[in-house]
Amino acid sequence: MREGEAIEAANFSLVCVETPGHAKNHQAFALPQENALFSGDHVMAWSTSVVVPPDGAMRHYMASLAKLLARQDKIYWPGHGGEVKEPQRYVRALIQHRRVREKSILSRLNAGDTTARRSLPISTKASTRR
């Protein structure tokens, strides 16, 4: 399926929302009559999504989060874990988390760290502060 294409049934429709990032072909599915989104692995209530190249790309993940933020869904049903009841608030928190992590990693690289082993403990600690 492609963005905007729908599966129609008697009492509901599912509309494709392309959300690359976790995987290049990741899709979520909107249930418009419920203002709901099946977010798959893109947004999960219990953890941030794993984004690993070559199939995943942080640039696409962040763009897809921005795309979801612009939607008016009232609830997300992820592929793993429980529901996300305040999706816009939660997506804003995910975006902020990733920005803090990126800033921390760039700071470590600018400080001279050249390996993940050296910078990971410091950048992880910085991004988990609340």
**CA distances, 25 to each of 29, 41, 64, 106, 130 (Å):** 13, 12, 12, 28, 32
pLDDT tens for each residue of 53-108: 999 999 999 999 999 999 999 999 999 999 999 999 999 999 999 999 888 888 88
Over residues 115-123, the mean pLDDT reads 64
> Has residue 1 been placed in a domain?
no
Nearest to 97 by CA among 52, 51, 32: 51
Q: What is the pLDDT of residue 119?
A: 64
Over residues 14-43, the mean pLDDT reads 97
Read off the tokens for 130. 């609340």
> Has residue 19 been placed in a domain?
yes
> Has residue 17 been placed in a domain?
yes
> Has residue 41 been placed in a domain?
yes
Q: What is the pLDDT of residue 93?
A: 96
Confidence of residue 130 (pLDDT cuts 50, 70, 90): very low
- Pair 21, 63: CB distance under 8 Å: yes
**CATH number for 70:** 3.60.15.10
Residue 36's CB is within 10 A of a number of other CB atoms, namely 17
- The Cα–Cα gap between 45 and 21 comes to 17
Q: How many domains does the chain have?
A: 1
The residue segments making up the domain with residue 56 are 6-127
What pTM, to 2 d.p., does this model score?
0.84
